[in-house]
Chains A and B, each alone.
Chain A
Amino acid sequence: MIDSASLLAVLPELILTAGGLILMLIAAYGGDATARIVNWLAVLTLAAAGLALSCSLAHGPDAFDGLVRADAFSVFAKALIYGAAAAAILLAPRYFSVGGVPRPEYPVLILFSSIGMGMMVSAGDLLTLYVGLEMQSLAAYVLASFMRQDERSSEAGLKYFVLGSLASGILLYGSALLYGFTGSTGFDGIAVALSEGVSKGELFGLVFVLAGLAFKISAVPFHMWTPDVYEGAPTPVTTFFASAPKVAAIGLTVRVAIEALGPAGLQWQQVVIFVALASILFGAVAAIGQTNIKRLMAYSSINNVGFALIGLATGTPAGAAATMSYMAIYVVMTIGGFACILQMRDAEGRPVETIASLAGLSRSRKGLAAALAIFMFSMAGIPPLFGFWAKFLVFDAAVAAGLTALAAFGIAMSVIGAFYYLKIIKTIYFDEPAAPYEARGGAVENVILTACAAVIVFGYFLNPLLDRASAAAAASLF
């Protein structure tokens, strides 16, 4: 039964759908010349969807008989997703205009992907979950190979598609098992069935679902695709991959783990702890030898997902809140970091990706160097930058839940991670200058860069707000 309350609860998705379809028509009829206007309209659509979030919250939490949840958690995650998607759109034109024209399909695909991501974080049923996930992924496969004349980009798209379908298959298999053994695809129904004891079949289903999700968040041991895809995809697309879908997948994982699999907490906790520690360790160690900055950011994202999962591993409301806060801060750092990477262009404006080319940046481009240093120190978790607070929250939640050993091990591993971030700062500040970059960045890039840097430096003043929002988001899950 479709009622108006349900429709109002999914208003953000409706706006994105309508906007996406209209923009696609504009793109189809207007051709590449419309790229600029479509870009801005897409950002406007995302902003409108963001405004509609308050409407969706007012008509939540359940819509369509529990298939969709429009609660504080989904609103929190969607706000991050829409913001990150908008940034990914805004950062793109300059990159694509080198050696070609920007194409209007790019913002449209991101809009469609955003619909999928919105569905992911507000799924209340395995079916909604899967549809949302596939919608997000399909758009993402195309985006990865967006520079189709570029071999690396096509390779990245293909690799992402093949491995992504495999993961989707695993997830679907796990869903089928869960449905078969619990008799329900709804998260509530699954939770009720699991609370009467976890059978072997349910355990299998749980592990398969988690494995599929681990692929989507690129957690070890399902991370293999990440470095190649991040390196091969066009940089704005990598920016997008590292931010919005990451939030969506983590949000989805948190929701499934707590709402659907909550009663089986003891079972999945071990899995999550292992995945978290393995991601932290692998992400930190494997990043040390990298020479390509995008590859390094890929390992950095694996590392960060590990930290975020420590919050989930606690299984407490404080832990879930910490994970979501972590993602919020992580998204700001990542977008800021990539806004810096996008400005790595040689004198002719062609993008450069080697870390060595950053040498001596602090003398040719002081502002850019300082911003990149801020993001790197922040990612390394050094106070007084905001990245420290992200780590603080997850470890604090772990200590509060009695997982002191996990927290101690995780934080000790973060020192290994600090090394490769320091390496970048060393290259920027200590090394002799290499060939200089283009003299100045684009206006949009600089605005985004400055905004992100300001959040990272003055973030502690946002603490009360972040605390309240993330606590409300987490409370709606329990």
Chain B
Amino acid sequence: MDGFPILSLMMAVPMAGAIACLFAGANQARWIALLATLADLALGVILWMNFDQSGGAAQWQFQEYAPIFGRFAWALGIDGIALLLIALTVFLMPICIGASWLAIEKRVQEYMAAFLFMEVLMIGVFTAQDLYLFYIMFEAGLIPMYLIIGIWGGADRIYASYKFFLYTLLGSVLMLIAMMWMVHEAGTTDIPTLMAYNFDPHIQTWLWLAFFASFAVKMPMWPVHTWLPDAHVQAPTAGSVILAGVLLKMGGYGFIRFSLPMFPEASAQLAPLVWGLSMVAVVYTSLVALVQSDMKKLIAYSSVAHMAIVTIGLFAFNQAGLEGAMMVMLGHGLVSGALFLCVGVIYDRLHTREINRYGGLSINMPRYAVLFMLFTMASVGLPGTSNFVGEFLSLMGIYQASSWVALVATTGIILGAAYMLYLYRRICYGEQKNADAAAMPDLSMRELWLLAPIAAAVLWMGVYPESFLAPMRPDIRALEARLAPAAPAGDSRIKLGAPKPVEDAHHEEATATSHEEASGEAH
């Protein structure tokens, strides 16, 4: 693989597909899009297999560099963190195309082109090693997403598309100013170099806040999350899948790639802010989710709560927390994507997202009910599914930094179980109130093929998470080492040299907490 520009190729394939789609017929466009995304998936598999996970390899692999843009360069390269997020992207894309196969009837060519262009930009965000190249990829994603929501969205799509666009744009522009300042200060646009550059701690605070403005909106964190429910509800099913599955991860990726390693002191100093917002998000948005009558809105609010667990894990400043945050991102990408697909399945049949219109679907749609159950449980964080691993690690990580935050965040898991199970009960159990809902046919083969791979991945991640932890472990260790000097002292750590009984007490306390967590998740 030496010297072969596989990352550029992974961006070129969907780009070529997007252009071809614009000049093809509707049905041809569907096939072109499917083939292009499957080809990218195959390239992604090759990428993963050739990625050196031994830990002895260089941190950045598959690097490419071409200084063709004057002030910035076409510089690509990935580490384990980026690899996993790219894998998530290329895995979800064919599923998105499949989910739009019949649901999208008008302007298919433009739709497929927009999705493929989106894929180019998402891969670009995760591979960019040049600060400005990253920004361009990061911002450019607004254009296709704006069109996807605005053209193929629901009734209130125009308001939602404006809100999505302007909200995220306003968040990002300040980050650009901070980037310019950093480049002038450090004299380079190279991200790996900047990750090791020590900025003046006083300036770091400002830079951190500018980046935070962007990533917090993208993430999204309370209180700037309000664009998400609107965008999700109005977007077509595949749009929601890609929004929840990958676009939200750009915020988390931004924290782990920029905010933490570039501004460790400021991150430590402002960690209480992140904790506070995350705690509010976990509790508040979970409660909001509990009273939603619109399925998509409910899942959108649950995304905000899950993303808060990510930020909590990230700002735990230790390996467990960081790995947990990454695992939640991956798990949530799969599970929320699958949940939106499940909503899409019944929306395509009845054309309503009102929860009350459904009921007792386990009778007439047994296969659907089983898969929906699996993803519901995964979203709740049941052991054996992907989200359990991530949530457990995140909470374990934050417990070392702040036991209070851990306490509040853990309630989110209980509330999560409440709203998800309540949703499931209203849709799949109970009596069949409406004749039209009762007459809906079970999953078609196409729909089954969309959901089955995600189900397999969710279980794999839950049963053998090492496959996903191994590629990023060296990078997480490096990040932890970078953060170590600044990391805030945890409140739950016992002073060394204390008599033995105290250590025992600590041990018991820790076990008790993890019991509590486990029992909370089992509800």
Contacts and interface: CB of A to CB of B under 8 A. Distances in A.
A399 B177 contact: yes
Given A383-B140, A404-B181, A430-B151, A411 B173 contact: yes
A414 B180 CA distance: 17
Contacts of A396: 71, 180
B170 A426 contact: no
B180 A399 contact: yes
Interface residues of B, number: 33
Interface string B138-170: 011011001100110000011001100110011
17 contacts: A382-B139, A382-B140, A382-B169, A384-B137, A399-B181, A412-B174, A414-B173, A418-B166, A418-B169, A422-B146, A422-B162, A422-B165, A422-B166, A429-B147, A429-B151, A461-B69, A467-B70
Interface in B61-98: 68-71
B135 interface: yes
A418 B174 contact: no
B136 interface: yes
Given A414-B173, A415-B169, A463-B71, A395 B180 contact: yes
A464 interface: yes
Contacts, number: 85
Nearest to B171: A415
A419 interface: yes
Contact of B166 (A419, A426, A460, A463): A419
A382 B180 CA distance: 17
Contact of A415 (B158, B161, B170): B170
A395 to B, nearest CB: 6
Interface of B: 68-71, 107, 110, 132, 135-137, 139-140, 142-143, 146-147, 150-151, 157-158, 161-162, 165-166, 169-170, 173-174, 176-177, 180-181, 184
A contact face: mostly helix, strand, loop, or mixed? helix
A464 to B, nearest CB: 5
> Most chain-B CB neighbours within 10 Å: which of A384, A404, A461?
A384
Contacts of B71: 396, 463, 467
A73 interface: no
Interface of A: 362-363, 377, 382-384, 388, 392, 395-396, 399-400, 404, 407-408, 411-412, 414-415, 418-419, 422, 425-426, 429-430, 460-461, 463-464, 466-467
A414 B174 CA distance: 11
Contact of B136 (A377, A383, A412, A466): A383
A155 to B, nearest CB: 35
A396 B185 CA distance: 12
A407 to B, nearest CB: 5
A170 to B, nearest CB: 35
A348 to B, nearest CB: 28
Contact of A392 (B107, B151, B176): B176
B contact face: mostly helix, strand, loop, or mixed? helix
A411 to B, nearest CB: 4
Contacts of B107: 362-363
A464 B68 CA distance: 8
B70 A466 contact: yes
B165 A461 contact: no
A426 B169 contact: no
> Most chain-A CB neighbours within 10 Å: which of B132, B143, B166, B184?
B143
Given A382-B169, A430-B158, 20 more contacts: A382-B142, A383-B137, A384-B140, A392-B132, A395-B180, A399-B181, A411-B176, A412-B173, A415-B173, A418-B165, A422-B146, A422-B162, A422-B166, A425-B146, A426-B150, A429-B147, A460-B70, A463-B71, A467-B70, A467-B71
B469 to A, nearest CB: 34
What are the 8 closest A-B residue pairs judged by CB atoms, nearest first? A463-B70, A383-B136, A399-B180, A411-B173, A430-B150, A384-B140, A464-B70, A415-B170
A64 to B, nearest CB: 36
Nearest to A374: B143
A384 B165 contact: no
Given A396-B180, A399-B180, A430 B157 contact: yes
B426 to A, nearest CB: 33
Nearest to A409: B177
Contacts of A411: 173-174, 176-177
Nearest to B176: A411
Given A399-B181, A426-B150, A430-B158, A383 B135 contact: yes
A404 B177 contact: yes
A10 B169 CA distance: 46
A367 B143 CA distance: 17
B184 A399 contact: yes
A404 B184 CA distance: 12
B143 A382 contact: yes
B156 to A, nearest CB: 12
Contacts of A408: 174, 177
A396 B180 CA distance: 6
B176 A395 contact: yes
A316 to B, nearest CB: 12
B142 to A, nearest CB: 6
A210 to B, nearest CB: 27
A429 B69 CA distance: 31
A192 to B, nearest CB: 33
Contacts of A415: 166, 169-170, 173
Nearest to B170: A415
Given A382-B142, A466-B70, A429 B150 contact: yes
A383 B139 contact: yes
A407 B180 CA distance: 10
Contacts of B180: 395-396, 399-400, 407
A422 B176 CA distance: 21
